[in-house]
Structure 1
Amino acid sequence: MGIHVIKMPDIGEGIAEVELVEWHVKVGDSVAEDQLLAEVMTDKATVEIPSPVAGRILALGGAPGQVMPVGGELIRLEVEGAGNLKEAPATAAPQPQAAPPAPVVTAAPAPAPQAPAARPVAVAAAAVAAPRREPGEKPLASPAVRQRARELGVELQYVQGSGPAGRILHEDLDAWLTHGQGAAPAAAGYAARAGEQQIPVIGLRRQIARKMADAKRRIPHFSYVEEIDVSDLEDLRQHLNAKHCAQRPRLTLLPFLIRALVVALRDFPQLNARYDDEAEVITRFGAVHVGVATQSDAGLMVPVLRHAESRDLWGNAAEVTRLAEAVRSGKAQRDELSGSTITLSSLGALGGIVSTPVINHPEVAIVGVNRMVERPMVVNGQIVVRKMMNLSSSFDHRVVDGMDAAAFIQAVRGLLEHPATLFLE
């Protein structure tokens, strides 16, 4: 038997260290070649580390949340044959190791289903019996499963896992919810509750926290809110969907908003820009690369719709759909998550009346979309029902003056309230 050491791979792009997000194995486990060992994160990309060999886990190189250097020892296995680490004095240099398989880079863990009660239960009832775990032993589960369990109020220590090495799957949560076996007694609705839960801020949540704090610390935000009558726009959207539903992607409001940004930015290029506050240089862009804030099970991410100015409504609609699916399925690549010049943030039906979006540093503007509602409005002296929607936008006051911000949003308003002007050249 020999020892095989797997080192933290070089992910590229000059990255010197990564954060260890989660182990998928524990000491004593037997692993197969290409089996997933761990997930690490750099910036906003999650990297899955597979095993290049089969063997038994002897030691793990760190704990979740720990920042590890590239080239540092990630994991140590006992393998058949000589391995890549010779038994030698501590001063002797280890033998070169075999190159591990290429890591799989994704944007986020696979998303959890949004309607757990509707999913079929694929686990036998016997599988939900209370598991036997050592005191302090952490159940194996993906970040998506852990988040879903937190949302459901389920303690994973009571859930029996049916995956490899007892890993808890979404199906196991379904089975636990259906049968409820082995669980701690549920407290009555008005019963006093005690206990605390400490949740480490690691992985994507840590990256989001740092980015938001950095943006608010470095950028003097100011916000501007305007209401828009989107009745005619909504009529056009529904007409186009009805006419082209069989041949073209379904249109939401987002492609029209993106088109309005593209047209309005022709007269306000200072908003399609990034500000390097260390070099004190503003870079304006001819291309409009729109960041589309997208919620995933792992947290908020901003995939980038590149060259929005070169696409028609359906082209932008298809690309927004593709990017959102890539983020939510954990398949977005690094170049799809960077390079935006202005960001569009929409909370959809949850959009409220007003919001104050945080600028996506180092950009200088973000346009936030609130929900559309029907309200009585006075039009030509008559009270009529119109579809109204607010835009809540934020700007970097170091680069954008208040008058320019207001004029830009008014230009967007004019385009959306008279949708034919979106297509005039």
Structure 2
Amino acid sequence: MSEKIIKLPDVGEGVAQAELVEWHVDIGDIVREDMVLAAVMTDKATVEIPSPVEGEVTWRHGGIGDMIPVGTTILKIRTSGEGGGEEPEIELPAERPRQPASEPKPAPAAEPPKPPQELAAPKPVAASAPKAGAAAYGAPRAGGERPLAPPAVRLRAKETGVDLRQVTGTGPAGRITHEDLDAFLNRESGAGAATGLVPDKSVQEIRIVGLRRRIAEKMALAASRIPHITYVEEVDMTALEELRGRLNGNLKPGRPKLTILPFLMRAMVKAIAEQPGINAHFDDEAGVVRQFGGVHIGIAAQTPAGLVVPVVKHAEARDVFDCAREVVRLSEAAKNGTAQREELTGSTITISSLGAMGGIVSTPVINHPEVAIVGVNKLAIRPHWDGTQFTPRKMMNLSSSFDHRVIDGWDAATFVQRLKALLETPALIFVSE
């Protein structure tokens, strides 16, 4: 018999640690070669760690959400082979000690025995017992007054979400008993019995790990460092929708179906050519704005694991069909978790769209360190005044946010108005200048 040590491999260039987001095995499990043991995440890319051998898991290290340095031993597998010896184990830094999962947890302290006087105390006679709904539910205890109750009653009250200050005890010196707690709970449930509505006092704690933690950190960074200005404008999409319908009705083999996004992407390319400062990153620590010639458009996409932003690189070199094809490819890769790291980074401006659930107005958060984001709201038929009468038109709002440190309100409005003009007259999108 021998033991194989599994260490966290180098999961990417320049990555010193990764977040443990999933265990696929437990101690005592029998694993096969190439079977997935765990999954770690870095820079929104999830990496699965396969088993190099067949055997039994005897030890594992780290809990979900822990940051594990590259090279740290995370698993030990007992194999049927002979010899080989153990590889030297890499310990975690002293300032972040870890307890191996195989070590038993200390047993909880035994509950202290009840005081003898409570065990021997006779039950109160009927004459002195409070009537239901009367003394047992009298005035709540004053703030700061500690209710008298044995540990078992306190534990049960905590598990059921009962504030013992609201319960009047019938035991010696007003001590709260299990019977008092039962009566209080029965009264609480009875209050909702007449209507069929019962209060739900459950609390579920959900640890923020993996992609959700990355999103939280990114949003906090953007909100704390970028002063947003949001500009909303309505766009008449009737002509573009008619053009889109015609193009989709005469698709050539191999061409993808067109949504609104490819037209918006091409409109953004043309508007950015007139205002290159919109297609930029702001390095506020260095005090430098970096304008990019290439337009790399991030498409915020919802996946089962959370929000990710796959990036369509060099939209300026793609037509509407090529933009549509790349959006479909990247969206599918993001949703099934196969997107590569380089496909999720490098955006210079972002589109945020919730499709039919886009609402009327939104306030999109800028994807730091970019300086602009274009939000797409839902398309709906609305009455539109044409100068003589109201006519039904297909309208859509654009809600766009800008970094007010480097983008003035006038420049933001100019950019959005240019998008509006291009989308309302879609033939301009295809005109080469």
TM-score range, shorter chain: 0.7 to 0.9
Give the partner amino acid of 1:232: A
Distance 1:356 1:77, change over 3 A: same
Deviations for 1:362-418, whole angstroms, at most 9, x for unmatched residues?
Answer: 100000000011011111312111111000000001111110000000000000011
2:358 matched to which residue of 1? 351
Q: Counterpart of 1:266 in 2: which secondary structure? A: helix
Measured in 1, the distance between the counterparts of 2:344 and 2:89 equals 38
Paired residues for 1:279-290 under 5 Å: 279-290=286-297
Q: Counterpart of 1:244 in 2: which secondary structure? A: coil
2:386 matched to which residue of 1? 379
Distance 1:16 1:54, change over 3 A: same
What's the offset of the Cα at 1:246? 4.7
Given the alignment, which residue of 405, 417, 422 partners 1:398? 405
Q: Identity over the aligned pairs, expressed in percent?
A: 56
Distance 1:245 1:84, change over 3 A: same
Given the alignment, which residue of 339, 344, 351 partners 1:337? 344
Measured in 2, the distance between the counterparts of 1:303 and 1:83 equals 47
1:49 matched to which residue of 2? 49
Give the partner amino acid of 1:47: V
Rg larger in structure: 2
Measured in 2, the distance between the counterparts of 1:347 and 1:190 equals 35
Deviations for 1:166-222, whole angstroms, at most 9, x for unmatched residues?
Answer: xxxxxxxxxxxxxxxxxxxxxx98443332211110000000100110111111111
Deviations for 1:288-324, whole angstroms, at most 9, x for unmatched residues?
Answer: 0000000000000000001111111111000000000
Paired residues for 1:138-177 under 5 Å: none
Q: Counterpart of 1:403 in 2: which secondary structure? A: helix
Relative contact order (C-alpha < 8 Å, sep 6+): which is higher? Answer: 1
Q: Counterpart of 2:282 in 1: which secondary structure? A: strand
Given the alignment, which residue of 254, 264, 270 partners 2:271? 264
2:93 matched to which residue of 1? none
Distance 1:95 1:367, change over 3 A: closer
Deviations for 1:216-243, whole angstroms, at most 9, x for unmatched residues?
Answer: 1111111000000010010000011112
Distance 1:83 1:343, change over 3 A: farther
Query: TM-score normalised to the size of structure 1?
Result: 0.75
Contact 1:5–1:85 under 8 Å retained in 2? no
Question: 1:16 aligned to 2:46?
Answer: no
Paired residues for 1:40-79 under 5 Å: 40-79=40-79
Contact 2:43–2:341 under 8 Å retained in 1? no
Contact 2:72–2:89 under 8 Å retained in 1? no
2:233 matched to which residue of 1? 226
2:81 matched to which residue of 1? 81
Measured in 2, the distance between the counterparts of 1:383 and 1:21 equals 55
Measured in 2, the distance between the counterparts of 1:189 and 1:296 equals 37
Measured in 2, the distance between the counterparts of 1:317 and 1:393 equals 21
What's the offset of the Cα at 1:37? 0.3
Q: Counterpart of 2:219 in 1: which secondary structure? A: helix
Distance 1:417 1:189, change over 3 A: farther
Distance 1:83 1:257, change over 3 A: farther
Q: Counterpart of 1:37 in 2: which secondary structure? A: strand
Given the alignment, which residue of 243, 259, 269 partners 1:236? 243
Measured in 2, the distance between the counterparts of 1:228 and 1:199 equals 41
Question: 1:94 aligned to 2:101?
Answer: no
1:117 matched to which residue of 2? none
Which runs of 5 or more structure 2 residues have no equivalent in the other structure?
91-194
Contact 2:18–2:41 under 8 Å retained in 1? yes
What's the offset of the Cα at 1:49? 0.4
- Residue-pair matches, total: 329
Measured in 2, the distance between the counterparts of 1:189 and 1:257 equals 51
Question: 1:39 aligned to 2:39?
Answer: yes
Give the partner amino acid of 1:68: I
Give the partner amino acid of 2:424: E
Distance 1:289 1:390, change over 3 A: same
Distance 1:84 1:221, change over 3 A: farther
Give the partner amino acid of 1:284: Q
Question: 1:363 aligned to 2:377?
Answer: no
What's the offset of the Cα at 1:84? 4.7
Query: TM-score normalised to the size of structure 2?
Result: 0.74
Contact 2:22–2:39 under 8 Å retained in 1? yes
Measured in 1, the distance between the counterparts of 2:373 and 2:411 equals 14
Contact 1:4–1:83 under 8 Å retained in 2? no
Distance 1:424 1:189, change over 3 A: farther
Which runs of 5 or more structure 1 residues have no equivalent in the other structure?
87-92, 97-187
Measured in 1, the distance between the counterparts of 2:89 and 2:316 equals 54
Distance 1:356 1:85, change over 3 A: farther
Give the partner amino acid of 2:46: T
Deviations for 1:63-111, whole angstroms, at most 9, x for unmatched residues?
Answer: 111111100111011112246544xxxxxx7399xxxxxxxxxxxxxxx
2:420 matched to which residue of 1? 413
Contact 2:73–2:89 under 8 Å retained in 1? no
Distance 1:84 1:390, change over 3 A: farther
Deviations for 1:126-183, whole angstroms, at most 9, x for unmatched residues?
Answer: xxxxxxxxxxxxxxxxxxxxxxxxxxxxxxxxxxxxxxxxxxxxxxxxxxxxxxxxxx
**Root mean square deviation, CA, Å:** 1.7
What's the offset of the Cα at 1:254? 0.5
What's the offset of the Cα at 1:61? 1.0
Deviations for 1:265-293, whole angstroms, at most 9, x for unmatched residues?
Answer: 01010000001111111110111000000
Q: Which moved more, 1:349-358 or 1:244-253?
A: 244-253
What's the offset of the Cα at 1:245? 5.8
Contact 1:3–1:82 under 8 Å retained in 2? no
